[in-house]
């Protein structure tokens, strides 16, 4: 396991702030108990930040007929919807909620060519809100597979998230389970798959990004 590069600046700033707080408390607060509490709280905050930016090594799934979970988290939506931004067709939406305690690396669900990418500014509704997919800050990525299937997925900022990172662009070839981005703090990823795909997950099921098969293509 190692720390993701998106966390380096945050960890550095947090370290400086926490060290500063404890330095000032040691210098100006005469009560040993309060100093001890601040040290314990500082360590707890630092550990929470470290675990958020962890990027564990894992055996990634490679399967041309499968759609892989792009994120760690819990499946909160499986429903038939009309996707109007790019696909303009009915499809199945699978949504994965990422809590602040999940790994927040995002991965490509399939291999292929990035046919469409767009960043949308937006609101910061809680990630499980039904309208967060349309109103929140988000990115939309569409990958076309070798067989011509188009898989659309969105990185969606949650109430705590204020920054979405991505490493893809239109026309770029990408590999399944390869890192495509990162969302800082609580968030959600929506995946839109063809109606004839076989759904492999259930509501409430936990997913592992780059490993869990969430659907199978025909």
CA pair distance 65, 217, nearest whole angstrom: 5
Asked whether the predicted pLDDT for residue 127 surpasses 60, the reply is: no
The pTM score is: 0.86
- Catalytic residues, by residue number, are 187
Q: Is 171 strand, coil or helix?
A: coil
State the pLDDT at residue 52. Answer: 83
CATH architecture of 66-216: Distorted Sandwich (2.70)
- Residue 17: its H or E element: helix 8-28
pLDDT (tens digit, 9 = 90+) per residue, 55-112? Answer: 988 999 999 999 999 999 999 999 999 999 999 999 999 999 998 889 999 999 999 9
* pLDDT confidence band for 49 (50 / 70 / 90): confident
State the pLDDT at residue 66. Answer: 97
Asked whether the predicted pLDDT for residue 128 surpasses 70, the reply is: no
Closest CA to 128 of 189, 216, 38, 51: 189
Asked whether the predicted pLDDT for residue 28 surpasses 80, the reply is: yes
Asked whether the predicted pLDDT for residue 187 surpasses 90, the reply is: no
* pLDDT confidence band for 184 (50 / 70 / 90): confident
- Dihedral, CA atoms, 67, 70, 76, 77, nearest 10 degrees? -50
Q: What percent of the chain has pLDDT over 70?
A: 90
Residue spans of the domains in the chain: they are 2-55, 66-216
Asked whether the predicted pLDDT for residue 36 surpasses 70, the reply is: yes
Closest CA to 155 of 131, 143, 138, 130: 138
State the helix-helix crossing angle for 32-52 and 8-28, rounded to 10 degrees.
180
- Residue 51: its H or E element: helix 32-52
Sign of dihedral through CA atoms 72, 77, 82, 84? negative
pLDDT (tens digit, 9 = 90+) per residue, 151-168? Answer: 999 999 876 656 789 999
């Amino acid at each position: 396991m190692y720390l993701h590069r998106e966390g380096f600046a945050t960890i550095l700033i947090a370290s400086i702030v926490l060290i500063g707080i404890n330095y000032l408390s040691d210098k100006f607060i005469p009560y040993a108990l309060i100093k001890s509490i601040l040290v314990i709280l500082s360590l707890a905050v630092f550990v929470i930040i470290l675990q958020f930016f962890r990027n564990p090594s894992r055996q990634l799934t490679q399967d041309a007929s499968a759609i892989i979970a792009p994120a760690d988290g819990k499946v909160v939506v499986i429903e038939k919807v009309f996707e109007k931004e790019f696909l303009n067709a009915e499809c199945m939406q699978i949504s994965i909620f990422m809590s602040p305690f999940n790994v927040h690396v995002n991965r490509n669900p399939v291999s292929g060519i990035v046919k469409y990418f767009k960043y949308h500014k937006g609101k910061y509704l809680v990630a499980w809100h039904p309208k967060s997919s349309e109103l929140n800050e988000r990115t939309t990525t569409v990958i076309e597979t070798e067989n011509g299937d188009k898989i659309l997925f969105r990185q969606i900022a949650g109430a705590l998230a204020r920054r979405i990172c991505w490493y893809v662009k239109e026309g770029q070839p990408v590999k399944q389970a390869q890192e495509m981005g990162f969302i800082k703090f609580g968030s959600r990823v929506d995946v839109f798959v063809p109606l004839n795909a076989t759904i492999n997950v259930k509501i409430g099921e936990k997913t592992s990004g780059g490993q869990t098969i969430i659907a199978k293509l025909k």
